[in-house]
Structure 1
Amino acid sequence: MTSVTSKKSTILGSDEIDLGRVIGELIDHRKLIISITSVFTLFAILYALLATPIYETDALIQIEQKQGNAILSSLSQVLPDGQPQS
């Protein structure tokens, strides 16, 4: 009997994880996991509903000096300054 146990421990090295044991632990403690998750979800929902929303923004407007455009200046000389007649 000890030879079977020693073979199993030899096969599973110290850096290996027994996946069946991990899943078993999660199943054994499922009530604790579900309750903790539920409590934090409830706190998150309450915070989202009761917290005052704060909307904040920053903007930077940079105004550059107007530079003459040769095409636009010649076009503005050709076009009349008056209002269109209807």
Structure 2
Amino acid sequence: MRYFAGARAAAGGVHEESIGATSLDDLATVLVERHGERLAVVLKAASFLVDGLACHDRRAALPAGATVDILPPFAGG
């Protein structure tokens, strides 16, 4: 699990950590329990990459050992 930009700030500056989760929804629940509601707000608007590929179905099963990147909305163009 890797955090970028505003997601990293909302997680208290954590760059990456290991989390066991079965889906992105499950992952979000664990992350909010660990880091609080500020991260919950970011996660609602964030995009997720699973092993480098965009994943839009937050209920889809995560492969064992997958790398998940949390990308909050970025300003600019």
Measured against the shorter chain, the TM-score band is under 0.3
Normalized per residue, which structure has more strand? 2
Bigger-Rg structure (1/2) = 1
The higher relative CO (CA closer than 8 Å, separation ≥ 6) is in 2
TM-score (norm 1): 0.17
TM-score (norm 2): 0.18
Normalized per residue, which structure has more helix? 1
